[in-house]
Amino acid sequence: MNFKWKKQKKPYICLAPMAGYSDSAFRQIIKEIAPETITFSEMVSSDGLRYNSKTNKNLMQYKEIERPFIVQLFGKVPEHFSIAAKIVEEMGADGIDINMGCPAHKVIKSNHGAALIKNPLLAQEITQATSEATKLPVSVKTRLGWENEGTLVDFCKGIEKAGAKAMTIHGRTYKQAFTGSANWEPIYQLKKELQIPVIGNGDIGSIENAEEKLKNLDGLMVGRATFGNPWVIRELTEYFYHDQAPEKRAKIQSKEFTSYWIKYHKPTILKHCESAVEMKGERIAMNEMRKHLAMYVKGLPNASELRKKLVLVNSLKEVKTIFQKII
Ligand SMILES: Cc1cc2nc3c(=O)[nH]c(=O)nc-3n(C[C@H](O)[C@H](O)[C@H](O)COP(=O)(O)O)c2cc1C
């Protein structure tokens, strides 16, 4: 497939890149539930790829179902991005995204992620080096700014000029990290200044707030709301692409929720576990699945009891045994 942002159905519905969460198994589940979703990898180190790190290559593993599949790179050395871009292209991804928004201390200390907001010329150099090294469309994900949104338009115009084909903006500054609520107003203003598609991100969790937030933007990106509830993405794709309100999930904690959960959620959750085991082997997979499992049982009457057990599981068999007792 020759992926082009401008040819995609709008509004784009994207699964956010989320380190430790949006791995191949999770993306596969999202795509089974909502096939139109555009998926992003967890952030992958361009330095790591440059030096042939297996850990970073493993982060890019994917299955066909995940397409369109965008690999997100982070780093600060333009030459490393050029090399990494070629590696990503060779492994068959549909696009490359550059992380210019991560506020994690370790990332900022190395002048990666959101630190690039303070270095717009380097941000442009990186975008240009990546774009010139590959035929894949290169996009950039960033935040409103460092302390405020005053630099947003100039920063993004520079990125656009350097070759980016789309931008995602998380409606918070670096300083805000994940506090407060996302401010989408500057994103609507930015859209008026750019030619390339602009995707809004931050605090989307329902059809109602997605519809309210979309306004003049080209797409939406959803992150944390998918934790324990990947079905939220289907609600959005059904609503925006099929013009229908999807069958509502049984309301959490309602009388019907447990039987609904057993019938509709349990098979998906087990499939998520199975895909994880297939991709990473049972020991690592089930260790990483614990956090998902703890969130998947939200709304069941004995959720806290279940959670205590699920955060200790080591095998798929143990999960099945615990789930069998849910009646
Ligand atoms: C656990 C976690 C990991 C994340 N990892 C990344 C990442 O690797 N790259 C990135 O650009 N953003 C990352 N983010 C930010 C999300 O992509 C997104 O911008 C943010 O969560 C706001 O969207 P939301 O309100 O829909 O969650 C991460 C967020 C969380 C919660």
SS (H, E, C) 183-216: CCHHHHHHHHHCCCCEEEECCCCCHHHHHHHHCC
Q: Please report the pLDDT score of residue 37 as a whole number.
A: 98
Q: Please report the pLDDT score of residue 243 as a whole number.
A: 80
The catalytic residues are 102
Q: Please, which residues have CB within 8 angstroms of residue 297's CB and are 6 or more apart in sequence?
A: 228, 303, 306, 307, 310
Q: Please, which residues have CB within 8 angstroms of residue 147's CB and are 6 or more apart in sequence?
A: 173, 174, 175
Whether ligand 1 lies within 6 angstroms of the CB of 43 is answered as: yes
Mean pLDDT score, 89-106:
98
Q: Taking the domains of the chain in order of start, what are their residue ranges? A: 5-241, 257-324
Mean pLDDT of the chain, nearest integer? 96
CATH architecture of 5-241: Alpha-Beta Barrel (3.20)
Dist. CA 48–CA 39, nearest whole Å: 22
Q: Give the pLDDT confidence of 152-185 residue by residue, as tens digits.
A: 999 999 999 999 999 999 999 999 999 999 999 9
Mean pLDDT score, 137-142:
98
Task: State in Å: Cα 16 to ligand 1 middle.
Answer: 6
Mean pLDDT score, 290-300:
97
Mean pLDDT score, 254-260:
88
What's the pLDDT band for 264 if we cut at 50, 70, 90?
very high
The answer on pLDDT for 54 being more than 80 is yes
Element (H, E) at 198: strand 198-201
Task: State in Å: Cα 261 to ligand 1 middle.
Answer: 27
Q: Please report the pLDDT score of residue 246 as a whole number.
A: 63
Q: Please report the pLDDT score of residue 1 as a whole number.
A: 62
Whether ligand 1 lies within 6 angstroms of the CB of 170 is answered as: yes
User: Where do the DSSP E strands lie in 61-197?
Assistant: 69-74, 95-100, 138-143, 166-170
Cis bond leading into 267, ω under 30°?
no
Q: Give whole-number Cα distances, 295 to 19, 70, 273, 306, 311, in Å.
A: 17, 26, 13, 10, 10
Q: Give the pLDDT confidence of 26-44 residue by residue, as tens digits.
A: 999 999 999 999 999 999 9
Whether ligand 1 lies within 6 angstroms of the CB of 102 is answered as: yes
* DSSP one-letter code for 205: -
Of 306, 309, 308, give the one whose Cα is nearest residue 326: 306
Task: State in Å: Cα 77 to ligand 1 middle.
Answer: 22
Q: Please report the pLDDT score of residue 179 as a whole number.
A: 97
> What kind of fold does domain 257-324 have according to CATH?
1.10.1200
Name the β-bridge partners of 44.
73
The answer on pLDDT for 251 being more than 90 is no
The answer on pLDDT for 247 being more than 70 is no
Query: Do you know the residue count of the chain?
Result: 327
Angle at 22 between CA 130 and CA 39, to 5 degrees: 55
Of 320, 270, 322, 312, give the one whose Cα is nearest residue 290: 312
Whether ligand 1 lies within 6 angstroms of the CB of 101 is answered as: yes
- Say what percent of the chain tops pLDDT 90: 95
Q: Please report the pLDDT score of residue 250 as a whole number.
A: 75
